[in-house]
Structure 1
């Protein structure tokens, strides 16, 4: 008679934070237009009404810190989040405020071209171009 052994696969417990973080990441990925934290919160809350704003904002911060989403800092406006987390440039429409990816090669060597007389060690850069988007140009 053969003995049947049940092997229990060891798994790390899924924490609530991990589930919530996955919900936030899914929302950022589904909102293709560089959403604000408020946009992400509304998208998550539509499917999970009991989630708090603080939980969504905290998890956005964790995702950005881990490099799973890109935080796009917008001068004079709310930070935006981008599911495309490779370094790239953005443009902001002066009229409607929308943020767009710019289709041009990222210059990782640009920081080498910067000469700083104040002793600042430059470690990276984000460039935001300003202009008017095609939709606003039509108006």
Structure 2
């Protein structure tokens, strides 16, 4: 089913692109609400889901934290600060054929993967 473009969907997409970081749904909502006071939280959350399903933005599932939304669509890896929780891109070449290299004795069908490195960001290092 093809979904139509709406003003709200464009606002949400543009917010993720403009913020240029790995943002949470709450951060996107607060950003959009600054200029469009009447937009609802549910509208922002729903459109983030739609945009990630369509492939316009990337949803990053974060263990023990809120999902993040990324404007970079190519396959790449992430790091997460173990202190503040900030998520950032890791500058490393993609490992081609990683799924095909999995040895699986359980009969699983592997579809995709997310690799998240644990780190301490520069801001948290400065606080030490």
TM-score, scaled relative to structure 1? 0.85
Q: How many residues align?
A: 125
TM-score, scaled relative to structure 2? 0.92
Matched residue of 1:42: which SS? helix
Q: Hey, what does 2:84 align to over in structure 1?
A: 96
Q: Hey, what does 1:11 align to over in structure 2?
A: none
The superposition leaves residues 56-100 of structure 1 with CA deviations (integer Å, 9 ceiling, x where unpaired) of 100000000011001000000000000111111000000111001
Aligned ranges 1:1-139 → 2 under 5 Å? 18-139=6-127
Structure 1 runs of 4+ off > 6 angstroms?
none
Q: Show structure 2 runs of 5+ residues with no match.
A: none
Q: CA deviation at 1:108?
A: 3.4
Rg (Cα) greater in structure? 1
The RMSD of aligned alpha carbons is 1.5
Q: Show structure 1 runs of 5+ residues with no match.
A: 1-14
Contact 1:91 1:128 survives alignment (8 Å): yes
